[in-house]
A = this chain, B = another copy of it.
């Protein structure tokens, strides 16, 4: 099958003759329909996570082989963390944190930039007919946006600042606005901020931004500088949520964190059912976030496009 592979020495390349993966008893073989290129994929090609193999973890596809007959032929999205199912994290519905986990396209398991992929049946979520493939491919990052309000109590009184108008920033901005809190999204691209502005969400260009004293700041910049800005504009006692992972190391002033009793909260993968429901109920607009759809055999070009800072979502069609 055709697949898009990253190898530390050989770099990113298309492989036309990759064997179709075999599915185990509790797994399903999925024919991938559409996949999204995420900033994490780009960071991996720079060395993040030391991963090698088929890249990609945002997808929608159709189940083609699986022991659960009810799933056959259905459109699905899939959670990317695969736990050992034995440890205390797996037993407590925290398989995202299983120390023995693999993560599709990120850690010890091939991803989904390919014609077919295998995932555990338990990781799959079916997609309602009213949600298109182009929308469903956003379930994984949208779930990551919803993760914030699963981790942190947010009340309508809170003043919230989202840093970054990349794909995740635009999703997080929309999710936070659902709560009804005072929100501002700071970005560098007028045309991207306009997507939120059109939904009535307050936005500002970073060059014009000079507010401080936020209760909650969410770093979706994808840049090593994001955390410093967040710590500068948070109020004492406030909470900074970090979504950004970078291949570069970042230093922070921990004295400032202690003296101002700040909380810094790392945030990663989130609840798929919540994201699917939000799409079904038309609460979140994802279609304006699509920049371009490339066929998988133009995967290299798609990556080059996605790697341009300030771009929107690049999709791969299989």
Contact = CB atoms under 8 A, between A and B. Distances in A.
Interface of A: 48, 89, 94, 96-97, 99, 151, 227, 235-237, 242-246, 249-268
25 contacts: A89-B236, A94-B237, A96-B261, A97-B235, A97-B260, A99-B236, A151-B261, A242-B257, A243-B258, A245-B254, A246-B254, A246-B255, A249-B253, A250-B252, A256-B266, A257-B266, A258-B268, A259-B266, A260-B266, A261-B265, A261-B266, A262-B266, A263-B265, A263-B266, A264-B264
Given A254-B227, A258-B244, A261-B151, A97 B266 contact: no
Contact of A97 (B151, B237, B264): B237
Nearest to A254: B250
Given A89-B236, A254-B242, A255-B245, A263 B264 contact: yes
This chain: copies in complex: 2
A256 B255 CA distance: 20
Given A237-B97, A251-B251, A263-B264, A245 B258 contact: yes
Contacts of A253: 249
Contact of A252 (B252, B256, B259, B263): B252
Nearest to A236: B97
Contacts of A252: 250-252, 254
Contacts of A267: 258, 261
Contacts of A257: 242, 264, 266
Contacts of A260: 97, 266
